[in-house]
Amino acid sequence: MISKTVTYMNFDDEKVTETCWFNISKSELAGMASGPDGGLKAKIERIIASQNKYEILALIKEIVLFAYGEKTPDGRSFMKTPEITKRFECSIPYDMIYTSLFSDAKAFADFVKGTLPKDILSDVNAEGLEVKDLPIGVM
């Protein structure tokens, strides 16, 4: 799990500081790894090979929105619903976080690694796929 704290002027012209939380669970990661097209790893490899800027931006958006959620007050659950995701996607914090990730490859790599369960990070790196291989800095 990773958090990103942003300070911004909201639509009522008030200064707001907000912490956004991102997490991809082991079960979600397993679901992303499978699929008829080879799953997430194959998708990332295809995007790296194509160097297609639009696909890179779409991948960053997909991962940010997929990982976003809200922690319950008791800390036992991390809620992800279409409504929570849509509310975040329409927010200023989303815009700030998303744009910061597509302009900095290291920031994106750190973000992705931060969303993953700590005990599987070594397995992700062992597969030989490095997020830093994405040609970030598309703008």
Region of poorest pLDDT, from 42-46, 86-90, 120-124: 120-124
- Give ∠ CA 31-60-66 in degrees, rounded to 5: 40
pLDDT score recorded for residue 102: 82
Percent of the chain with pLDDT over 90: 45
**pLDDT-derived band at 20, boundaries 50, 70, 90:** very high
55-113: pLDDT as tens digits: 888 888 999 999 999 999 999 999 999 999 999 999 999 999 999 988 787 888 889 88
pLDDT score recorded for residue 137: 47
Q: Residue 138 falls within a domain, yes or no?
A: no
Q: What is the DSSP string of 11-64?
A: TTS-EEEEEEEE---HHHHHHHH-STT-HHHHHHHHHHHHT-HHHHHHHHHHHH
pLDDT score recorded for residue 86: 98
Q: Residue 139 falls within a domain, yes or no?
A: no
The whole-chain average pLDDT of the chain stands at 83
Q: Which residue has the tokens 């295809």?
A: 46
Domain, as residue range, for 71:
2-133
**pLDDT-derived band at 123, boundaries 50, 70, 90:** low
Query: Of 34 and 19, which is predicted with more confidence?
Result: 19
Indicate the number of domains in the chain: 1
Write down the pTM of the prediction: 0.80
